[in-house]
Structure 1
Amino acid sequence: MAAGLPFLNPYKNIDADFRHGVNFAVAGSTALPIEVLANQNISSPLTSSSLTVQLDSMFTHFNSICYTEGDCMEKLKNSLFMVGEIGGSDYNYALFQGKNINEVKEIVPSVIQAIKNAVRTVIHYGAVRVVVSGNFPIGCIPIYLTGFQTKDHAAYDENLCLKELNSFSMYHNERLQHAIEDLKIEFPNAVIVYGDYYNAFQWLFKNAPYLGFDAMTTKKACCGIGGDYNFSLTQMCGAPNVTVCSDPNQHISWDGVHLTQEAYKIMTGWLIHDFLPKLQCSWS
C-alpha cells in the first residue's frame, strides 16, 4: 500500500490482474511434501499442498507469460521474490500432534533444505532479489500459549512467552540464516536477504503500548473465546458464538494464530526499514 501498488492476487484467481505480481501461497501449506511428513507420523490436516506445489504453480504461470528463458530473465530481473515464511505449518502440525521439541528438531534440517532448494529454483528461473523469511517467536502466540500452558513459572520469559518454543523458533532461524549464507556464495550475482520476522515481532511485542496496542491484550486473540488468551482450539474464530473485540487495531493477535492488520502493518514497516537497503534497489 505504501508503494502505491495493489495487493498481489492469488494464483488460483484466473481472472485476476497479475501485472504487479502473483501470490502462490496456500493456507496451511508445509515446506515438506505430505508424504515425507507422513513418514514421520505427522499429518497435514488442512491441505495436501506443500512448497513444491507452490513452485509448480509458479512455473506454470511463468511458462504462460514468457516466450523464452531469456524473456523470463528479462521480465523477472526487476522483481522481488518473497520466499516464506515457510516451515511454520510443518512444526505446528508436529507439535499439536504430540511430538516433543526434540522430535520436531529432527525435521528442521529437511525443512531448511526444502527452503534452500526453493531459493535455488527461483534464482535459476530468473530471480535476482530474494527475501527469505524466518519464523515467528511462536511462544508468544495465543494458540501455543493455550496449547502448552503450564503452571511452571520457569517456563516463561520476562514477556510471559514460552521460552522453549521461542528457543525452537530461534533454532530454525539460525539454521536458515546459515543456509542463506551458503546460497550467497553459490549465487554471487543474486541478492538474498533474510527477513527477520522473529525480531520484528519481538520489537512489536515489547513496544506494543507505545505503538497504540492495549497492553492488557498483547497475548490475547481479538476474535476468540475462553481461557487466559481468549482462544480455544475447539471454538476458533468464525465458529458460532465466538465474539470479536471492539477495536482490532488495539490487538496484536487477530484469531490466536494470525496477527491483526495493524500488527502486520507495523511489523512490515520494521522489516522494510531492515532489509530494503540490503536489496540494493535502484530507483528511476
Structure 2
Amino acid sequence: MMANEKALVLFICFMILQAAMAAAADLKSCKFDQIYQLGDSTSDTGNYILETSNLTAFPCAHPPYGETFFKNVTGRCSDGLLMIDYIAKAAGLPFLNPYKNKDADFRHGANFAVAGATALPDHVLAAKNIPLTRTHSSLDVQLDWMFTHFNSICLDDHDCAKKLKSALFFVGKIGPDDYSYPLLLQGRPVEEMKAMAPEVVDAIAEGVRRVIKSGGVKIVVPGSFPIGCLPVFLTDFQTHDDADYDDHNCIRKLNDVAKHHNNLVIKAIEKLKKENPNTVIVYGDYYNAFLNLIRNAKKLGFSKIELHKACCGTGGDYNFDVTRLCGTAGVPVCQQPEKFISWDEAHITQHGHQIMSDWVISDILPKLECH
C-alpha cells in the first residue's frame, strides 16, 4: 500500500471514529429530560441487591464487580458502567437510580431493571416447569412499579402525558433469561426455546403497550445479544464439531435462538407502530452492536486471544467454572478488563458497554425523530 493510500485509510478511520463520537453527543439534540429503563442484568443498576435479603449467592453483589469505575459494588453486573449509563450520559442526564432505592432522586427517570428478570411472569414459567433461580420481578412486575411511580408524580393521565412527553423508554433488553434458565439449568432443547419465543415476545409487546398507555411516546425495544458468544454458553455447549460454530466461533444453534427472538421483536414493533401511529417505537439492535465488538476486535482494542474468554473467572477454554464464579473468593481477575469483551460468564466489560452504546445510539438516533 502506497503512503498516500495509508494516509487515506487512516483519515477514513478517524472520520468514522469522530462520527461515532458525535452521534453519542448528539443524543442531547433529542432533549430528553427523563429515561425509564425496564429489563434484566444488562441494565440493572442496583434493584436486585436492594430487593433481596440473600446476597451471598449473587456474584454481582461482591468485589471485583464495579472496580473499574465505581471502586465499589453497586449491583451492576460489570466491572463498571453499563450501556444505560452511557446512554444517559450521552443524553446529558445523570445515571439512572434503581427504583428500589426509595431515597433516590428520580427527577430524570428511574431504572426498574432487575438482574435475572424474565419477560414472562413467574406463574407462566412455572406452568412450563421452568425454574427461576434469581428473581420474581418479571417485566409485568417492573411495569407495575413504573405505574406506581407515575401515580406518585402525576395528577392524572393528562398530567402524566405532559410530563412524559420528553421521556425516553427502554423496554428491555429482556427475554433472554426466559431461554437461559431452561437451557442452562435443565438442558432443554433449543427447538423448545424457539417454540416459546412468540410467547416471550408477546409479553414484551404487551409491555410496550402498557408504556404507551402510561404516556410514553419515544420507546426503544432492544433485542437479544448473540447468546452463543457468551462464555457460559460456549462452555456449556462446547463441542469438537466445527459445524456447531458460526463464523465468529460462537454456538450456531444458540445464536439462531437469539436471531429468531429478534426477528419476532422486529415484527412486533411493526405491528405496534401501526397500532400507535403517533408513537415512535425503535428496535435496539443489541445483537449487531455485540457482533461489532467481535468483528472489529483489534481496531477496538480487544485482544484476539481473549476474545471469547471471561475477564473474571477461571477454568476451561473460556475462564468459566460454574462452581467458582466471579465474585467468589480466590477467583482471578484479568489485569486489563478493557482487552476483554466479557467481564464474567454472561456480562460485558465497561469498555464493551461503551462501544456498544455508541453503536446503538448511532443506529437509533435517526429513527427517534428528534427535531
TM-score, normalisation: structure 1: 0.98
- Which residue is equivalent to 2:217? 128
SS of the residue 1:9 aligns to: coil
Alignment partners' CA distance in 2, 1:88 and 1:254: 18
Deviation string, structure 1 residues 21-77 (Cα, Å, up to 9, x no partner):
100011101111111111111011111121110000000000000011111000001
- Which residue is equivalent to 2:303? 214
SS of the residue 2:90 aligns to: coil
- Which residue is equivalent to 1:2? 90
Alignment partners' CA distance in 2, 1:234 and 1:42: 22
Task: State the 1:4 CA deviation.
Answer: 3.3
SS of the residue 2:161 aligns to: helix
SS of the residue 1:240 aligns to: coil
SS of the residue 1:107 aligns to: helix
1:4-19 aligned at under 5 Å gives the runs: 4-19=92-107
SS of the residue 1:244 aligns to: coil
| Counterpart AA for 2:125 | L
| Counterpart AA for 1:89 | D
Whether the 8 Å CA contact 2:269–2:283 is kept in 1: the answer is yes
Structure 1: gaps spanning 5 or more residues: none
Alignment partners' CA distance in 2, 1:124 and 1:53: 16
- Which residue is equivalent to 2:187? 98
Alignment partners' CA distance in 2, 1:210 and 1:117: 40
Task: State the 1:146 CA deviation.
Answer: 0.4
SS of the residue 1:237 aligns to: coil
Whether the 8 Å CA contact 2:193–2:257 is kept in 1: the answer is no
SS of the residue 1:276 aligns to: helix
1:205-284 aligned at under 5 Å gives the runs: 205-282=294-371
Alignment partners' CA distance in 2, 1:86 and 1:25: 9
| Counterpart AA for 2:239 | T
Deviation string, structure 1 residues 244-279 (Cα, Å, up to 9, x no partner):
000111110001110001101100000000001100
Alignment partners' CA distance in 2, 1:185 and 1:245: 48
1:61-72 aligned at under 5 Å gives the runs: 61-72=149-160
Deviation string, structure 1 residues 174-215 (Cα, Å, up to 9, x no partner):
011000000000000000000000011111111011101111
| Counterpart AA for 1:8 | L
Alignment partners' CA distance in 2, 1:160 and 1:39: 35
| Counterpart AA for 1:266 | I
Alignment partners' CA distance in 2, 1:78 and 1:2: 15
- Which residue is equivalent to 1:83? 171
Answer yes or no: is 1:44 the counterpart of 2:132.
yes
Q: How many residues are matched? A: 282
Whether the 8 Å CA contact 2:293–2:352 is kept in 1: the answer is yes
- Which residue is equivalent to 2:24? none
- Which residue is equivalent to 2:59? none
| Counterpart AA for 1:119 | V
Alignment partners' CA distance in 1, 2:93 and 2:341: 25
Alignment partners' CA distance in 1, 2:352 and 2:278: 34
Alignment partners' CA distance in 2, 1:138 and 1:202: 11
Whether the 8 Å CA contact 2:289–2:356 is kept in 1: the answer is yes
Which of 199, 213, 219 is residue 110 of structure 1 equivalent to? 199
Alignment partners' CA distance in 2, 1:272 and 1:236: 32
Answer yes or no: is 1:165 the counterpart of 2:254.
yes
Alignment partners' CA distance in 2, 1:279 and 1:266: 20
